[in-house]
Structure 1
Amino acid sequence: MAQSLDTVFAALADPTRRRILSMLLEDDMAVTDVAEPFEMSLAAVSKHLGILTRAGLISQERRGRVVWCKLEPDALRDASIWMQSFGQFEAVHLDAFEQFLAKEFRDDG
């Protein structure tokens, strides 16, 4: 479980990948549609999708010439259980946690 948690948290560490997961909450999307709102190459978005796929957070399926991405919410179950084990905390607010970490790293530099 530790290896899979490391992989999931590493995948979630990047804001682009978190945004992709948020987009996929709505519905399955073609890779080209996932890439559209980002100011990066399709190859760069594909690398992010590969990381999310290896972490089990999404699946990709070729339908004809189009590759579709689908959110796999069960992959977050172990991470959620791990975070809930810190019972003294209320529901984890990831944006606030990210802002806290960003501030901590700015202050250290």
Structure 2
Amino acid sequence: MNTIQLSIVHRLPQSYRWSAGFAGSRVEPIPQNDNADDDCLVALKLLSPDGDTAWPVMQKLSQALTDIELPSSVLECEGEPCLFVNMQDEFAATCRLKNFGVAIAEPFSGNNPF
């Protein structure tokens, strides 16, 4: 069974940037009072699967983005593998992942307009 098609990711609320001198290998959260710039990253974290199976799934997701020449990195964040993409590439990345069979957990408000 294809584990990618059973994968669900969500965007972490914090924005990130590459740590000084560690571009591509280490990130740090951007304080909320800082202005986001072109180097701002978003992190996508797996809701399922988790544990040891999460790393290979995240590597496959990263490869799916590489296939369309969209740069990404899989790094540990909050004790779990996360897929980091540039903020300006977020919509292209999530679109590609949806087309690849990944479910994207979207935030919603509890206010029902109906």
Tell me the TM-score normalised to structure 1 length: 0.28
Tell me the TM-score normalised to structure 2 length: 0.27
Q: Which protein is richer in strand relative to its size?
A: 2
Return the structure number with greater relative CO, CA threshold 8 A, min gap 6. Answer: 2
